[in-house]
A and B are shown apart, each in its own frame.
Chain A
Amino acid sequence: MRTGRAAGMAASAAALALAGCVAHGPQLAPADPDALASRVELVATPFFPQRDYQCGPAALATVLAAAGVPVQADDLVAEVYLPARRGSLQAEMVAATRSRGLLPYVVPPSKQSLLEQVAAGRPVLVLQKTGAGPWPGWHYAVVVGFDTLADQVILRSGTRARLEMPAARFLATWDRADRWALIAVAPGEMPANPDFARYMQAAAGLESIGRIEAATLAYEAAAREWPTEALPQLGLANLAHARGDLAGAERGFRAAIERAPGDAAARNNRAAVLLDLGCPAAARREIDTAAALADGGPHVAAVAATRREIEAATAPDRAGCPPDSAPAHSPP
């Protein structure tokens, strides 16, 4: 067991080296030099010096304030600081950002993605795993700039308002923390080069804690950015349904199905709304398609429940029911 683990660690080091984490020469120069400015510094980013071990609240206050939410590091201590662990959990940093109505976007774990966000004007909250210094272990800091010529990043870190750190050292500590990075995005705005899945995860989180206005802005921005994707339409339709706009919800779910005819969730939701609209026959056609698509997938239980509800309805459709949605494509 012990030798197996040791061999695993050795192989781990080998794999990391092979994956290109242990590189020589300049670290920050991007593959495509025209893609990014060579020097960026967000000098207007506020600074909250940390107290004790509270780098988490201080770093979080920095990115929240930069996103336009006035906050003091002390206000965040109760939310994101665990005294017994002398630290803050990443999930709590995400939750505290969300609870202020900002979109907590976890940046894809690449150097390029990190620098893109800074170049687009957003300071980036990063987790570092350091081996030495006054805060051994884990540390949160905020990347506010970079200089590819000097090969360094500029941080708000701990008690240092402006810390220039050699890129190699920064990347090594960030890499050991699984390259975790977070930005706070005002709802309706987009991260630089946004990743659809990460963005939608953050936006749906806003809806799930009841930040409806922020979620609406975030889904609308997603619908503009990714006009062919179904999920933003589904999100907007769910919000329409939540405020009692059944006709609007039905249209939204139909728009989602048009974009993804195999989406069992959108069909399930449309069927439920059709039933509430007094169109049980149309609802039945939709839920039958949903059931065929949901088979073996994550929505099978929800679809079966909706189907039972619809099958209990016996009345005919009222006049003026909406047209059927797009058919599900048969597999080629």
Chain B
Amino acid sequence: MFKRFLVQVFCVALLNLGSPLVAQAGLIGTLQAVEAGTRAHDLAAVNAALARDQVREQFVALGVDPAEVESRVAALTDSELRMLAGKVAEAPAGASALAVIGIVFLVLLILEAVGVIDIFKKFP
């Protein structure tokens, strides 16, 4: 019984580790707001890259439904999305044919790496 109580106290203590020290009850902490905003920002950056016609054409050519990719991207964790947004941001805005193929491959690679799709298993 006492042991169970200790476990519960410990669990509550662990949960508290994640909460900002200065945030008051009822207030959303700055870090929380930043992280929510970062996710929205990253998602917008990735979706903007995916929305380019040339990028969509490449997905179709590879047999991947662009709408499917978009919904899968939305399911990525914050850190995965961060990585993807960083890679997309590096690609030049002018989007030459090579850069487009680069973006398509990077998106597919990252989705593949996190186990969302398995496009590369289709190649011999």
Chain A residues proximal to chain B, CB less than 8 Å: 1, 3-4, 7-8, 11-12, 14-15, 18-20, 108-110, 178, 197, 200-201, 203-205, 207-210, 212, 215, 219, 231, 234-235, 238-239, 241-242, 263, 265-266, 268-269, 272-273, 275, 297-299, 302, 305-306, 309
Question: Residues of B within 8 Å of A, CB-based: how many?
Answer: 42
Interface class of chain B by DSSP: helix
Determine whether the beta carbon of A18 is less than 8 Å from that of B98.
yes
A1: chain B residues at CB < 8 Å are 121
Assess the B106–A19 pair: CB atoms within 8 A.
Answer: yes
Contact of A205 among B23, B31, B89, B105 (CB under 8 A): B31
* A305 x B26 contact (CB < 8 A): yes
Most chain B beta carbons < 10 A, residue from A205, A238, A241: A238
Tell me the bound Cα distance from A291 to B26 in angstroms.
14
Q: Are A241 and B24 in contact (CB under 8 A)?
A: yes
Given A8-B109, A109-B90, A201–B28 Cβ distance below 8 Å? no
Q: Would you list the 10 A-B pairs with minimal beta carbon distance, nearest first?
A: A15-B105, A4-B121, A272-B26, A208-B20, A204-B31, A19-B102, A8-B120, A298-B36, A265-B33, A18-B102
Chain A residues within 8 Å of B123, by CB: 7, 11
Distance, CA A14 to CA B101, complexed state (A): 10
Name the distance in Å between B95's Cβ and chain A's nearest Cβ.
12
Contact of B109 with A15 in the complex, beta carbons under 8 Å: yes
> Who on chain B is nearest to A112 by CB?
B90
Which of A11, A178, A241, A306 interacts with B120 by CB under 8 Å? A11
Shortest distance between the CB of A5 and any CB in chain B (Å)? 8
